[in-house]
Amino acid sequence: MEFRIAPMILVLFNLFFITLANPTFNEWIPLKELASFSKVLIPFGLVFVLSVGTFLRHTYYSKQFKFTYYGLQLLNLAMLVFYIYAIKQQHL
């Protein structure tokens, strides 16, 4: 198995996780479970750091891979900001 795909797998996992944790998209999980920032931000942060670390560990990636990786990481950060915004709006 090619280990250079590990950062992409982690980015996709993180995107799935933060999308699932957003109360706007997922109404099945109770809001009081999602509102605890530590339950969501700690796993998100750990997977984010692990993804960046595995990406920096390898030196060769194609331009398409780098573009996709950076785009998905930006999408992850945007979804994180949207998650925090949605939680703050639901608790007003």
Three-state DSSP class for 5?
helix
Q: Please list the alpha-helical segments (H only) found in the chain.
A: 6-20, 31-34, 37-57, 63-90
Q: What is the pLDDT of residue 1?
A: 42
Three-state DSSP class for 62?
coil
Question: Directed axis angle between helix 37-57 and helix 63-90, to 10°?
Answer: 170
pTM higher than 0.95:
no
pLDDT per residue, tens digit, the chain (92 aa), is: 466 788 999 999 999 999 998 888 887 887 777 778 888 899 999 999 999 999 988 878 889 999 999 999 999 999 999 999 988 887 65
For the chain, how long is the longest CA-to-CA vector?
A: 48
* Token reading at 24: 């706007």
